[in-house]
Chain A
Amino acid sequence: MKTLKTLAAAASLSLLAFTLTAPVQAADYPEKDIRFVVWSAAGSPLDSMMRQLARQLSAELGVQVPVENRTGGSGAVAMSYVMTQPADGYTVLSTTASMTFTMAKGQVPFSPDNFTVLRALQAEPSAVAVRGDSDFQTMEDFVEYLQQNPNGLRVGGYASAGFHQFVFYRLQEEADFEAAWIPFDGGNEAAMALLGGHLDAAVLTPSSALAQIESGEFRLLGISTDGRDEYFPDTPTFKEQGYDVVESIWRGVMVRSGTPDEATDRLLEAIAAVEQTESWQEFMRNNMQSSLDLTKDEMQELVRREVESRRTFLENSGNLN
């Protein structure tokens, strides 16, 4: 009876500690299950990355890592949920570069200060694709045509005011041409529109139209990686063609800011170990993903910089008033 009472007292005390988010003892992290919260639907690319990581992290840390999907509000639903949980490293949230857009738009009531992005495990570039029978062979052909014929081509891709439009906007800024953006509800719809001749060029994630690129139905004019992409080594980068546009859409994990270093360090150490394994690397190859390989501090810096650059883009493209 007495033990029960002490237990109850201890439980309520620890509850109190959680609600006050007082510094949490994390020396023995992890002592219990770590929950993964994913802000996209089950079966999405982000979800499959998180589930792969959860499985391997669970083996690495010796605790269960259950995955929960909380979709909605462009990630805001999951973020608000995580904000109600203690900053103790036992709730880990998925994140992607799309967060920097929603934060720049002010669509989510959070800023980069609310979270510590631990690691970007995956990154994918954006590329300008035309049909195989197009006259355009290089970015220069494409740019020159648009400079001489403003709005003379139909260019589009996934989403309005999102990553691919941002890349296209950056290209316009670098090369000084004018073209409207035709937003689609999915990268697949943009690829089909290009295939069917309804678009002259699509800005898309190359892995999402792999079959068409390999068969030669699509030709990539340029890609947004820094050096040649490991999966598309034959595609010249924007940068080497003289347009300084280096951007990637990354996927990773983050925790509430204020999470004790003991917990984040241990998590990062375990993630690093997972990234070394052959099964993780095979998963990355299957999904044609590259690693950004940035430290925690470099990640915070990148997120802040991205929110700023997105905001400028949104203001200039008229998507933000």
Chain B
Amino acid sequence: MQELLLGIETVFTWQGILAIFVGTALGILVGALPGLGPSLGVALLIPATFSLPPSVSFNLLVSLYIAAEYGGSISAILIGTPGTAAATATVVDGYPMNRKGQGAMALQASLTASTIGGIIGAISLIVFSQPLIAFVLKFGAPEYFALGLLGLTLIASLSGDTILKGLIAGLIGLLLAVVGVDPVSGSPRFTGPFFELYEGIPFLVVLIGVFALAEAFTLAERGNNTSDKAEKSMSSGSLGIGPALAMFPTFLRGSVIGTVVGAIPGAGANIAGWLAYVQERRWSKEPETFGQGQIRGVAAPEAANSASVGGSLMPLLTLGLPGSPTTAVLIGALIIHGLQPGPRLFSQNPDVVYGLFVGMLVAFPMLFVLAIAAMPLWRRVLALPNSYLAVGIILLSLVGTYSFRNLMFDVWLAIGFGIGGYFLKKLRFPMAPLVLAMVLGAIVESNYARALIMSQGSHGIFFERALSVSLIGFAILALVWPVVPYFMKKIRQNRQETAM
């Protein structure tokens, strides 16, 4: 209690509140712009914090992180492009909602989910850090491999009605993940003459290509004949309090998944979003509406990626180790301010730790208010004719791609993926399996190899511990489950026929 009072004292000064305000406002922008993500945004802001007290600057950076995880959903819904990697799952239903004329409702659902998810994540950080980290430490190479495998089985459920095309897209994603320096031998693989590819094909470049550019090409092709879409899109329906309350279980499920997966180093917001999305679809009584603009398909991943902020800060506070690229940058920021991240922070700099706790609880409501205020702005964006919108998307995407590594190479790569993505889209290949497989491919491969080095080549290591066995069990179940209703139907039909 004493400590929380200290936190309140730290946050509720004009400097403290201003820092959260500025961080949140910048974060929404950073998140919404494809290419700029939370980790780059935080890194770019660090020099501006040198003259600020540590607790204030930490709150500034964390509020940017928080708001950026929400901001990614704005472009996901408005232009079908995830603004951050973690908002990729939001595109699947967010963009169709917009196309159906429910853009405003999707944005409100995403904001409500982000706010509630974020607060649940923050409270979990305050209350459950210790037990959750103890659970996370159980994850060794076999468990990471099994988690990745479980993720890959989701491809089937993301493929809509074209399982075969979904699987092909997933394989393309796995192949893309193979490019780069081999995690085991350390030598380059499929990089050709391009050393720009040593770190792998940048995930962000693929996202921008297959989502943003491919969508822009499609928009340009469609022409301006749907200019009335915009008004309809924003005007028809807003999310009432009743329906929002009804979605509370969705928020809760998403938040729990987000917090836990966010705390697992190497998994993070991105995978949290996907897992939450697919779980939601599995819980749903009408799974066939997912992918067609189902509001819960927006709420679940958004609750998860915002809740993952609290989760990802757990290893930082309890172990002093980064669990995600963004928290790695945050640790750098703490060190620059002369602080040692880890459990010692609680005793040596309680103002920073409890300031962070209180700051997060302030930042999410602040995000809610700011984002509501910004809604009319998005309405304007949507009111633009397709031709302007397409050019705008292309421009933003290419600038974003370039700013990522200051490399023209990435820009050409993005254009290549844009063209490829455009044709895949024309042929009705779903994009979600491709990007999901790309994220998981690296995790599955390196942990498979790592586990086998540990066991000196024996595959028994994957079945030694209960955690990896149950994860693999879930993966098998996920593969078999969708087929069960089909066979049930067959059996029932047979029975009816014999009855007749």
Contacts and interface: CB of A to CB of B under 8 A. Distances in A.
Given A76-B195, A182-B454, A196 B137 contact: yes
Interface in A61-99: 68-74, 76-77, 80
By CB atoms of chain B within 10 A, which of A77, A109, A162 has the most? A77
Given A70-B406, A211-B344, A43 B332 contact: yes
Given A71-B405, A183-B183, A319-B186, A214 B344 contact: yes
A161 B185 contact: yes
B265 A189 contact: yes
Interface string B303-335: 000000000000100011111000011001101
A214 B335 CA distance: 16
A191 B139 contact: no
Nearest to A200: B454
B198 A107 contact: yes
B406 A69 contact: yes
A70 B184 CA distance: 25
B44 interface: yes
B450 A73 contact: no
A304 interface: no
Contacts of A214: 344
A44 interface: yes
Contacts of B240: none
B413 to A, nearest CB: 11
Contacts of A76: 195, 198
Given A184-B450, A286-B335, A159 B138 contact: no
A193 B138 CA distance: 9
A108 B195 contact: yes
B140 A196 contact: yes
Nearest to A184: B450
Interface in A2-36: none
A140 B398 CA distance: 56
Contacts of A154: 454
Interface string B68-79: 000000000000
Contacts of A72: 195-196, 198-199, 405, 407, 409
A192 B333 contact: no
Given A160-B185, A189-B266, A215 B43 contact: no
B257 interface: no
A48 B49 CA distance: 13
B453 A180 contact: yes
Contacts of A159: 186
Contacts of A302: none
Contacts of A181: 453
A105 interface: yes
B338 interface: yes
A45 B43 CA distance: 12
B358 to A, nearest CB: 23
B315 A192 contact: yes
B238 interface: no
Interface in A137-162: 151, 154, 156, 159-162
Interface in B439-473: 446, 450, 453-454, 456
B454 A77 contact: no
A183 B186 CA distance: 9
Nearest to A159: B186
Contacts of B47: 51
A189 B332 CA distance: 17
B265 A192 contact: yes
B68 to A, nearest CB: 14
Interface residues of B, number: 55
Contacts of B198: 72-74, 76, 107
Nearest to A71: B405
Contact of A211 (B39, B187, B196, B343): B343
B429 to A, nearest CB: 29
Interface in B281-300: none
Contacts of A184: 450
A290 to B, nearest CB: 16
B453 A182 contact: yes
A211 B343 CA distance: 7
A285 to B, nearest CB: 9
Nearest to A76: B195
A197 B446 CA distance: 19
Contact of B319 (A48, A51, A212): A212
B195 A74 contact: yes
B341 interface: yes
Contacts of B46: 42-43, 48
Interface in B198-244: 198-199
Contact of A319 (B185, B329, B406): B185
A300 interface: no
Interface string B36-61: 00011011101100000000000000
A278 interface: no
B439 to A, nearest CB: 14
Contact of A210 (B183, B323, B340): B340
B328 A43 contact: yes
Contacts of A180: 453, 456
B311 to A, nearest CB: 14
Nearest to A198: B140
Nearest to A195: B137
Interface of A: 41-45, 47-48, 51, 68-74, 76-77, 80, 105, 107-109, 151, 154, 156, 159-162, 180-186, 188-189, 191-193, 195-198, 208-212, 214-215, 282, 286-287, 319-320
Given A42-B40, A45-B332, A192-B137, 15 more contacts: A43-B46, A43-B329, A44-B328, A70-B405, A72-B198, A72-B407, A73-B198, A73-B199, A77-B195, A156-B450, A160-B182, A182-B454, A189-B265, A319-B185, A319-B187
28 contacts: A42-B40, A42-B43, A43-B43, A44-B332, A45-B332, A47-B43, A69-B406, A71-B199, A71-B405, A73-B199, A74-B181, A74-B195, A77-B407, A80-B195, A156-B450, A159-B186, A160-B182, A160-B183, A161-B187, A183-B186, A183-B450, A192-B265, A192-B315, A196-B140, A210-B340, A211-B344, A214-B344, A320-B187
The 3 closest A-B pairs by CB, nearest first: A211-B342, A73-B195, A161-B186
